[in-house]
Amino acid sequence: MLKRIALISLLVILAFVTVQAQDTQPVTPAAREIYTVLSYGDDVFEPDTWLASASEEPTRTTGQWRNDSVGGLAYLDYIHFDTPILEAQLGDSFGPAWFDAVLYNYDEWRELTTCTVDGIIIHDFSLLENNLKYTMRYWVQWVSESRVLAMFVIFPTDDSANLSTYSERLFPNAAVCAG
In tens, the pLDDT along 47-60 reads: 999 999 999 999 99
Q: Is the pLDDT of residue 18 over 50?
A: no
Backbone angles phi, psi at 54, to 5 degrees: -155, 160
21 pLDDT exceeds 70?
A: no
pLDDT tops 90 at residue 16 = no
| Residues 119 and 139: beta-carbon distance below 8 Å | no
CA distance 158 to 108: 17
> Residue 179: pLDDT band by 50, 70, 90 thresholds?
low
Q: How high is the mean pLDDT of the chain?
A: 85
Mean pLDDT is lowest, of 11-15, 113-117, 129-133, for: 11-15
pLDDT at 32: 87
Tell me the pTM: 0.81
Closest Cα to residue 44, out of 177, 159, 176, 162? 162
For residue 92, the model assigns a pLDDT of 86
Residue 144 confidence (pLDDT) above 50: yes
| pLDDT reported for residue 128 | 97
Q: For the segment 66-121, what is each residue's pLDDT rounded down to a tens digit?
A: 999 999 999 999 999 999 999 989 888 898 999 999 999 999 999 999 999 999 99
Average pLDDT of span 23-39: 68
For the chain, the first-to-last Cα distance in angstroms comes to 91
| Rounded CA separation 162/46 (Å) | 13
The answer to whether the beta carbons of residues 112 and 126 sit under 8 Å apart is yes
